[in-house]
Structures are given as structure tokens and as C-alpha cells.
Amino acid sequence: MLTKPDETGGVPLVRTTTRYNNPAQRFREIHERLAQQIQEHAALPVGFNNALFEIYTNAYRTMGAHSDQALDLAGGSHIAVFSCYRNAEAGPPRKLIFEPKAAGGEKFEVPLTHNSVVVFSVGSNRRLKHRIVLDAPAPATDDQWLGVTFRTSKTLIRFRDGHAYLPQGARLTPADEEQRLEFYRLRRRENNETDFSYPPLTYTVSDSDLLPPT
């Protein structure tokens, strides 16, 4: 996980169902430059302040259809998926397949070519599910896909005396078992409902969210 604290020390938070133990890392110069280039080329009104960094090998070929978790995403912002490959000539690229949450809609796919970016709005993320697949025959040479998903957080937390605090002043706490179950129930609803909105939540299921970025 990558994050870009603002000038006042606010740390952009994006909570997900994935549990991490290590703290997020701050944007480095290369991340800043890439995020800015994407914003400029896509003519986006708001910049990115958080990113998810992933590496897939050829062994990971399918994933379940989902929406990106939008609990902390800024309204009117965008999500950008940057793709590159260790060996761009090894075989056909992965695909990003979109499908409407509503029944009866048509799927469509976008190839994730080397050094490409796919940008979609938070509004589209609300209406559509997506998944990244590698459905071509396995190439003779193993390859790695590196993806960076940039997003814009509306939840800037602050760290005081070893604790994380949400913008409204409440302390961000680790979820207990009941809260974890609630979090996953809400996430399932988000993946299936086009009009879903999260209630205010003051907890996280990931210990990394409670740690200052490095």
C-alpha cells in the first residue's frame, strides 16, 4: 500500500477487507511522477493520494468479480490501473473485464497492455464489477504483471500519541469479531448493489491502517 500525506500531515486511508501487518509506504518520486502523468493525460480534476501495488505471476490467472471498496474514496474521483510486465514480449496481456451489477447487462473487456493505464470513475465502480484475468495459454516463459491502482481518499487520518484519528476526531480502532463480520457483510452488499453506501465506520480490519506510513 502506498499513501501520500498532505502538507498538514493528514494520511490518506483506504480501508479494504485485505489484512496487512506492515505500514503503508509513502509515495516516492516515481509514484508521484506516474500519478501526475496519469492525471494530466486523463484530464482528471483531482489528483491521487493512495495506491495499491500488486504483482501477479502466470499462476494467478483469475479473480472474482468485484467493485473496488469505496468506503474511503472521494466522491467524483477516479480509479486508475497502471500495468507493466517484467517481460512484455512473453505473451498476450491480461484483461480487465467489466460487467454490470444489474442483471442482463453486457460484459466488456480492456487489454492491460505494457505501460498502459485504464481509468474509470467512482460512479462507474458503483455500477460495475470487474476482474483481472489471464485467459491465454501459458507462455513458455513465466512472466510477472505489476499493477498499481491509484485512487483518491477522502479519509485523511492523523496520528497522535501512537493512535490514529479519523477526520471527525474519533479514534480509528481495530475491529472486534462482530465488527469484522459486519465489515464483510457490508462489502458483499457493495459488490452487488448499485445504490449501496457505507455507514460511518470507526474501525478497520487491517492492523497496517493503525500504523504511521514509512
Domain architecture of the chain: domains with CATH: 2-151 (2.60.120.590)
Q: Could you tell me if 172 and 202 are in contact, meaning their C-beta atoms sit under 8 angstroms apart?
A: yes
Residue-wise pLDDT tens digits, 10-65:
999 999 999 999 999 999 999 999 999 999 999 999 999 999 999 999 888 878 99
CA 153 to CA 48: how far, in whole Å? 8
Cβ density class 113-133: b for 16+ within 10 Å, e for less = eeeebbbbebeebbbbbbbbb
pTM score: 0.95
CA torsion, points 190, 40, 116, 151, in degrees to nearest 10?
Answer: -20
Residue-wise pLDDT tens digits, 127-176:
999 999 998 776 556 789 999 999 999 999 999 999 999 999 999 999 99
Q: What are phi and psi of 42, to 5 degrees?
A: -90, 0
Q: Could you tell me if 198 and 126 are in contact, meaning their C-beta atoms sit under 8 angstroms apart?
A: no
Question: Of 44, 114, 128, which Cα lies nearest the Cα of 80?
Answer: 44
SS3 117: strand
